[in-house]
Amino acid sequence: MTGVSHQGDYTIRPFSSVDEFRACVALQEETWGHGFSERVPTAILKVSQILGGVSAGAYDPSGGLVGFVFGMTGLRGGQLVHWSDMLAVRKEARDGGLGRMLKAYQREQVLALGVERMHWTFDPLQSRNAYLNFSKLGIVVHEYVQDMYGQTDSPLHLGIGTDRFIALWQLKSERVEARLARVDAMVTAEEAGDTPFALGVRTDSGEPRPGEANLSLTADRLRVAIPTDIVTIMNHSMELAMEWRMATRPVFAHYLRDGYEVRELVRGDRSSDYLLAKIAQ
């Protein structure tokens, strides 16, 4: 792929030189930990470009690499799809929309190949990533996988396993196009107020703790609470972080298996709510 995109102060383009591929590997280690055993090496980054994948970096005006996106194109269930495997942005470039820009770039590149579905994974307990995925990109989720990557040596994954949502990004849908154009209103906390909880939150101990799960609901829409800042909880109490994992795991697994999809994340100060909806038959 040869696409070049100018997004604000950034230029997003495929890696081309050996030094650029090596800089991407270094940024992986900076993000997921030095010596991260699951980093994507230079050879695979390069080969993916040949086979319809995306291996591209975001560069600032000085030419410095500040972010990258990597994904592979192939068949899933007999359908051509793109799997976005990694995306990272340096700390100093975060909170400015660069992650969204990289995803939008990736979308345009694979649409040019005729690909209309993209997947990637993310931790359901990480509200920051979830908010980007649902509210800014317009994904939905139909799949929850327990310990998808097993135990890894990244410090970002230690302690609470690697349970993951699999994002479904329907690249040409009205929902996705509206979210990317920022014209589609997201659900607010007030609008979600009457939606029953499949898993609520308790704050009687000071920290947000999972309430009692309800796996017998049949309403068209449901709510599932998570802590807004799981990283802070992990730093203070890995036991409480694991309590959240073990509470949310059966709820997501049950309702996604029972014909619901995850459609939104409504963020709050201390806890946030996923909104699940029955899939129309």
Q: Are residues 45 and 100 in the same domain?
A: yes
pLDDT digits (tens, 9 = 90+) for 154-196: 555 567 889 999 999 999 999 999 999 987 667 777 777 789 9
Q: Are residues 217 and 163 in the same domain?
A: no
The CATH number of the domain where 26 resides is what?
A: 3.40.630.30
Q: Is residue 45 part of a domain?
A: yes
Predicted confidence at residue 277, as pLDDT, reads 96
Query: Can you point out the beta strands (E) in 61-203?
Result: 65-76, 79-89, 117-122, 140-145, 164-170, 197-199, 201-202
Predicted confidence at residue 215, as pLDDT, reads 98
Q: Are residues 149 and 14 in the same domain?
A: yes
Predicted confidence at residue 152, as pLDDT, reads 60
Q: Are residues 247 and 144 in the same domain?
A: no
Predicted confidence at residue 154, as pLDDT, reads 52
Q: Is residue 187 part of a domain?
A: no
Predicted confidence at residue 159, as pLDDT, reads 72
Q: Kindly give, in sequence order, each residue whose CB lies less than 8 Å from that of residue 30, ignoring residues fewer than 6 positions away.
A: 88, 90
Low pLDDT (below 50) residues in the chain: none
Q: Is residue 242 part of a domain?
A: yes
Q: Are residues 177 and 232 in the same domain?
A: no
- DSSP secondary structure letter of residue 84: E
Q: Are residues 158 and 40 in the same domain?
A: yes
Q: Are residues 173 and 83 in the same domain?
A: yes
Q: Is residue 186 part of a domain?
A: no
| Residue range(s) defining the domain that contains residue 65 | 5-181
CB 48, CB 72: distance < 8 Å: yes
Q: Are residues 172 and 201 in the same domain?
A: no
Predicted confidence at residue 204, as pLDDT, reads 74
Q: Is residue 259 part of a domain?
A: yes
Q: Are residues 83 and 153 in the same domain?
A: yes
Q: Is residue 189 part of a domain?
A: no
Q: Is residue 212 part of a domain?
A: yes
Q: Is residue 25 part of a domain?
A: yes
Predicted confidence at residue 149, as pLDDT, reads 83
How many separate domains does the chain show? 2
Q: Are residues 149 and 214 in the same domain?
A: no
Q: What is the pTM of this model?
A: 0.91
Query: Can you point out the beta strands (E) in 60-139?
Result: 65-76, 79-89, 117-122
